[in-house]
Structure 1
């Protein structure tokens, strides 16, 4: 299985930290293959090529080959490159072009053969289980009926350009499609290999599983497998500490439980009893003050 870089999108300043990590992974021995087809009809391809040069030339990647036609490409084609970069744009158009040309199968074989793929926004979404995570941003102008992605992320769907105001829409999506979601804000991303995910960038990534929302800060690593029960508490238990100091803290304090932390019923029994006693005493004190004040009037 290859290595997949999933970027939340944004301009080159937003993805700078993530792009640096990508460059360290692939090196400079081979050229980078750039596929901007999701931008067809949105931004001229010449501008797309200049954009990616502006992103990666300062990082030492100077050989960049742009392809704007998927047709007549064999599975051997991506092998001559250090990695495949699939840029953002309209997700429905991108997936439609990949399917019509058969490049979706070429890319799957490349990934299964240890290829490296960077997906930016739409390019990340098509790697997930379902592309309807883009429906709030992209118009399905090509009439895609099958919304299945390449599904090379062990069942995860990818939500890009994430903002906290998206939470209710994400939960509605989960109800409709019954699939967990990794939500990537701009300035952050994650890379995925054989069920192991590492968060990188400058902002937290969020994992939505059922009704649970788990925050994963930059540097967090955890294992996620589609064969496991999709349970947020299990994911929390699989997180790796960022460093020895954090590991020590977690061993003493433990991980927070997933779900509604503010609900008193989720607390340990001793804390529940103490909480009820405190609230009761405060109520009695308040009533006593009111009564005494009334008597003294």
Structure 2
């Protein structure tokens, strides 16, 4: 992967301001994929919310995709960054797989594109999305929950608080995969095999036996844990 991914903890645009400032540069062409929602009305609502939130970053254009089937052959080369906000992670992965957009997203990143993932969008970038079962119902009956795998063997847990520590530890004990835990007011940038915490809050890598904390500004290589 030669592109850059921006992973948000699921907070508001104000809470994730450090991350959004890096991800959404003035003059950018931003495409929004609100596919973590199944219903069209919910996709439209999510698209309107993030579009309004992005206006402060002075984008040149915001394009909201609500129907993946009609856009799968669109030219992704014209985009600067794809924004994938939250919702149901299983709906998101199922829609991207069934439409062919998951492969298109990987190709976009391999060509040097940028992707922002918040909440469900952040979970998607990990090795597997099965960690989302604690919060999201798998109503679509998704059997293969393999994610993008852009963090080595790690999975992503947004909205992290200390109350979720046992869930993260149990997940590692069962899966063998470490968990990147992102509090809502936090974000990390992943590029060139390196993860960087842009803050403002610390982020944790959790296994069944250890917690490693990275403060704002810290960097570490993918696969370290």
Who is 1:18 aligned against?
19
Deviation at 1:76, TM superposition (A): 6.4
Whether the 8 Å CA contact 1:78–1:84 is kept in 2: the answer is no
Please state which structure has a larger fraction of its residues in helix.
1
Who is 1:135 aligned against?
133
Who is 2:217 aligned against?
219
* CA RMSD across the alignment: 1.9
Question: Could you give the per-residue CA deviations for residues 118-141 of structure 1, whole angstroms, max 9, x where no partner exists?
Answer: 001101111110101211110111
Whether the 8 Å CA contact 2:40–2:66 is kept in 1: the answer is no
Q: Which ranges of structure 1 fall in alignment gaps of 5 or more residues?
A: 232-297
Distance verdict in 2 for CA 1:89–1:13, change over 3 Å: same
Higher relative contact order (CA 8 A, sep 6+): 2
Question: Could you give the per-residue CA deviations for residues 40-63 of structure 1, whole angstroms, max 9, x where no partner exists?
Answer: 339633332321122111121251
Aligned partner of residue 109 in structure 1, secondary structure = helix
Whether the 8 Å CA contact 1:34–1:67 is kept in 2: the answer is yes
The 5 Å alignment of 1:247-262 reads none
Whether the 8 Å CA contact 2:24–2:57 is kept in 1: the answer is yes
Distance verdict in 2 for CA 1:134–1:216, change over 3 Å: same
Structure 2 CA distance for aligned equivalents of residues 95 and 86 of structure 1: 11
Aligned partner of residue 117 in structure 2, secondary structure = strand
Whether the 8 Å CA contact 2:195–2:219 is kept in 1: the answer is yes
User: Number of residues paired by the alignment?
Assistant: 224
Structure 2 CA distance for aligned equivalents of residues 109 and 72 of structure 1: 19
Which structure is larger by alpha-carbon Rg, 1 or 2? Answer: 1
Whether the 8 Å CA contact 2:9–2:159 is kept in 1: the answer is yes
Distance verdict in 2 for CA 1:76–1:112, change over 3 Å: farther
Aligned partner of residue 44 in structure 1, secondary structure = helix
- Structure 1 residue 178 and structure 2 residue 167: aligned? no
The 5 Å alignment of 1:232-243 reads none
Report the TM-score when normalising by structure 2.
0.92
Who is 1:206 aligned against?
204
Q: Which ranges of structure 2 fall in alignment gaps of 5 or more residues?
A: none
Distance verdict in 2 for CA 1:189–1:215, change over 3 Å: same
Distance verdict in 2 for CA 1:192–1:151, change over 3 Å: same
Who is 1:80 aligned against?
78
